[in-house]
A = this chain, B = another copy of it.
Amino acid sequence: MELHVKREHFSSDEQHPNRARMLISCPDGPGIVAAVSRFLFDHGANIVQSDQYTIDPSGGMFFMRIEFDLPELERRMEQLQAEFGEIAGQFQMNWKIFNVSHKKKLAIFVSKEDHCLVELLWQWQAGDLDADIALVVSNHADMKEYVESFGIPYHHIPVTADTKAEAERRQLEVVGEDIDVIILARYMQIISPSFIEHYRNRIINIHHSFLPAFIGGNPYAQAYRRGVKIIGATAHYVTEELDGGPIIEQDVQRVSHGDDVGELKRIGRTIERVVLARAVKWHIEDRILVHQNKTVVFN
């Protein structure tokens, strides 16, 4: 299967070699926008897109995402960050600046259900997912040949009750520190708190229900029993609380009394694929800020 190598990728890299994104969150107060925009102007940057949100104008939190072009970005990035540090300190900012041409590195975890993995690979090879898929990790061997046909390393790390700790140690090893985000594409194992701690707000899970309804196992069977008229899927960052992390995206579809559990699963698979792919895209494009178990999504 050679399909993916034939594609021409017009990545953001080639289109906008000097584009950067800045994410800021800090306590609200006067002068933040003026200071940031003045800083960028003084450095010769051109603001392409800017979004801002304040939870509560008097004493709440302020969130900002700025996309800008800066000539010779690659060479000047280090200095830019150093100089912005002064403004950041002044306003107690939590901040990051990303060079858009540095593609984010993804690790995808999967178990037996393959639809979310297949969707991400399809979007990636279609040029819609502007990132590098660095590796796939699975507790099963089923998808090995398929994944490797894309030239992507596949790590089969079985997990049992006894080997769980050891398995996570191996996962940490193959994933490494360099990965930007881990995607649980229907990975059916509980992640331990210590593993989560390594990748705080950098593990995205797709849960196959409209959270907070139907937490835990077999959500489609739960939905069928309750007789809901709409089912959904939820992409969220993983925290120590099962299915309780910050929600990134949700979507739903209407069902009827005539749809049995199998049909709900079939319909749900498409919702899951779409919702997870959107969440991953937004994460890759630095559109998501997390604050107190909730997300601010600038899209």
Contacts and interface: CB of A to CB of B under 8 A. Distances in A.
A226 B247 contact: yes
Which of A40, A44, A50, A248 has the most B CB atoms < 10 Å from its CB?
A: A50
A294 B227 contact: yes
A74 interface: no
A172 interface: no
Contact of A30 (B41, B142, B214): B41
B252 A230 contact: yes
Q: Determine the main DSSP class of A at the interface with B.
A: mixed
A263 to B, nearest CB: 10
Contact of A52 (B32, B50, B274): B50
A161 interface: no
A62 to B, nearest CB: 9
A189 interface: no
A240 interface: no
A202 interface: no
Given A38-B38, A41-B31, A126-B115, A145 B230 contact: no
Interface residues of A, number: 68
A222 to B, nearest CB: 9
A151 to B, nearest CB: 13
Contacts of A254: 254
A247 B227 contact: yes
B38 A48 contact: no
A47 interface: yes
A269 B266 CA distance: 20
A239 interface: no
A256 interface: yes
B53 A1 contact: no
Which of A44, A52, A143, A145 has the most B CB atoms < 10 Å from its CB?
A: A52
Given A53-B258, A257-B297, A230 B232 contact: yes
B230 A146 contact: no
A256 to B, nearest CB: 7
A296 B145 CA distance: 43
Nearest to A150: B1
A150 B212 CA distance: 40
Given A212-B213, A229-B248, 11 more contacts: A1-B1, A1-B149, A33-B37, A38-B38, A47-B52, A50-B50, A211-B213, A226-B247, A227-B246, A227-B294, A230-B251
